[in-house]
Amino acid sequence: MNTRRKFMVMSAAATAAVFMPLTKAAADKSPMYPSNVIYTSKDPGVWAKKAATHLPQMEVENGEAVIRTLHPMTKEHYIVRHTLVDDNGNVVGTNTFSNTDPKAVSRFKLPEGSKGKKFYATSFCNKHDFWVSPVTI
């Protein structure tokens, strides 16, 4: 249990650290991270054939962000975590999964005044790394 707790704390800290500089990167039009560290629809890197089942998808329902990753959840291969981060690097919510969870679906209450703002939905696979989808609400 202690190892899982450490993993969760480190994951949240790493996610926030990754997204804080993204606003400047967008303004500069140059990424602040190597393309083989974070995967996106535009840059799936070595996992190009895995994008459809690893990219997080987000929709808004009744003031909540619903993040889904269309990935099978098996003992050997599963989605470990979802995180929702706002454009300022603030973590809106995190959800850690187990390989016994039936699906990788998370719900996070959106902050007031979210309409028109950019967020980043993340999905981490135990075999195919860290995926990000930018979403404007």
Kindly report, residue by residue over 75-111, the tens digit of the pLDDT.
999 999 999 999 999 999 999 999 999 999 999 999 9
Q: What is the distance between the alpha carbons of residues 86 and 137, in angstroms, rounded to a whole number?
A: 11
Residue 79 — left, alpha, or beta (φ > 0 → left; ψ -120 to 50 → alpha)?
Answer: beta
pLDDT exceeds cutoff 50 at 31: yes
Confidence of residue 128 (pLDDT cuts 50, 70, 90): very high
CA–CA–CA angle 30, 35, 39 (5° rounding):
110
The mean per-residue pLDDT over the stretch 42-63 comes to 94
pLDDT exceeds cutoff 90 at 120: yes
What average pLDDT does the chain have? 85
CATH code (residue 76) = 2.60.40.730
How many domains is the chain partitioned into structurally?
Answer: 1
pTM: 0.76
pLDDT exceeds cutoff 50 at 28: no
The residue range of the domain holding 99 is: 2-136
